[in-house]
């Protein structure tokens, strides 16, 4: 083969490979495997098509996602517990002198006892933050998200987002869906990280802690004053109620991974509009292997789609 012919042939092959790579990159939900990928794409496309019998008007095209275990890794601790650990690092041992509960939290931190901190969730998420401003708390959450290192994956927490779920949010937004985060984590922590997940801070629904405004230096500061506000624990039935109050309606698509999401998923599954319910099943050793049998049984009974992280996702993280 003459050199000029060979060069033309080489250029043609390179062009074809580049076009193929570009087409793959533009393919929706590229990290999802068939047949679930095709089912989701078909559902969203029909929901956005006025000529389709599966059409959902734009103002009703609402999607809701749980955070921990649905959008990001939730083990060995929920992300907000990692924020609490970082806060304890900055205030212990002095914080431990304030009382026996504070002392135990500092001791657990020193001994790397994550189980104790997880078991005493309410104390860990309230006591270290008493007297902290909302602005200071959001800054702390953002810093841990960007720079804190996940204990297993040895990467920043911001890099423990499930790539397939990030793709799904972007795809749904492209089809005119309004996407909400609906989590048991506190609302402020969601707002601090939601933009990096593709969700507007105003579309975050979460737990609330006791707080009040205070005037400091001629300006109003919102301050954490105590523990959990039990009326605003965003789990179970409250997830469904708070979703409705935030969006003014039930979602037509929702994703969750635990019994705390069940009412939100049931409300979505009972929506008279065409809908889709996704249950994330942690069956992949690339992440963690555990299951929620009651939720999986509910999914089977109600015809919800179970997302096998092992079988339905080509990759877990970015």
CA distances 61 to 22, 49, 54, 89, 216, Å, are: 29, 12, 11, 43, 42
Helix, strand, coil percentages, rounded to 5, for the chain? 50, 20, 30
Rg of the Cα atoms in the chain: 23
Predicted confidence (pLDDT) per residue in 26-70, tens digit? 799 999 999 999 999 999 999 999 999 999 999 999 999 999 999
Share of the chain above pLDDT 70, in %: 92
Residue 196 Cα to chain centre, angstroms: 11
**pTM for the model:** 0.90
Domains of the chain: 30-76+154-312 (3.40.50.1000), 79-139 (no CATH)
- Predicted local distance difference test score (pLDDT) of residue 231: 79
Distance in angstroms (rounded) separating the CA atoms of residues 144 and 155: 12
If we measure between CA atoms, which residue out of 82, 95, 94, 97 comes closest to residue 127? Answer: 95
Tell whether the model's pLDDT for residue 76 goes beyond 70: yes
Predicted confidence (pLDDT) per residue in 198-256, tens digit? 999 999 999 999 999 999 888 999 999 988 877 789 999 999 999 999 999 999 999 99
Higher pLDDT, 38 or 10: 38
Tell whether the model's pLDDT for residue 11 goes beyond 80: no
Q: Report residue 9's pLDDT band, with 50, 70 and 90 as the boundaries.
A: low
């Amino acid at each position: 083969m003459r050199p000029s012919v060979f060069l033309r042939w080489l250029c043609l092959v390179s062009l074809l490979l580049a076009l193929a790579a570009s087409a793959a990159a533009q393919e929706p939900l590229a990290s999802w495997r068939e047949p679930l990928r095709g089912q989701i794409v078909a559902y969203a496309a029909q929901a956005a098509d006025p000529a389709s019998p599966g059409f959902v008007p734009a103002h009703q095209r609402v999607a809701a996602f749980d955070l921990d275990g649905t959008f990001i890794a939730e083990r060995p601790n929920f992300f907000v517990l990692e924020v609490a650990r970082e806060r304890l690092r900055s205030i212990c041992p002095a914080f431990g002198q304030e009382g026996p509960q504070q002392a135990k939290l500092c001791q657990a931190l020193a001994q790397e006892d994550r189980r104790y901190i997880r078991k005493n969730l309410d104390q860990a998420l309230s006591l270290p933050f008493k007297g902290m401003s909302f602005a200071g708390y959001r800054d702390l959450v953002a810093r841990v998200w960007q720079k804190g290192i996940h204990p297993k994956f040895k990467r920043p927490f911001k890099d423990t987002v499930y790539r397939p779920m990030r793709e799904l949010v972007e795809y749904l937004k492209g089809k005119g869906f309004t996407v909400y985060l609906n989590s048991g984590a506190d609302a402020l922590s969601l707002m601090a990280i939601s933009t990096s997940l593709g969700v507007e801070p105003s579309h975050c629904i979460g737990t609330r802690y006791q707080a009040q405004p205070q005037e400091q230096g001629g300006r109003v500061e919102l301050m954490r004053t105590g523990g959990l506000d039990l009326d605003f624990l965003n789990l179970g039935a409250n997830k469904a109620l708070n979703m409705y109050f935030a969006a003014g309606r039930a979602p037509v698509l929702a994703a969750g991974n635990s019994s705390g999401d069940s009412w939100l998923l049931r409300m979505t599954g009972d929506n008279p509009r065409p809908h889709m319910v996704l249950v994330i099943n942690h069956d992949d050793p690339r992440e963690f292997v555990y299951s929620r049998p009651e939720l999986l049984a509910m999914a089977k009974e109600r015809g919800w789609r179970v997302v096998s992280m092992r079988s339905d996702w080509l990759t877990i993280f970015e």
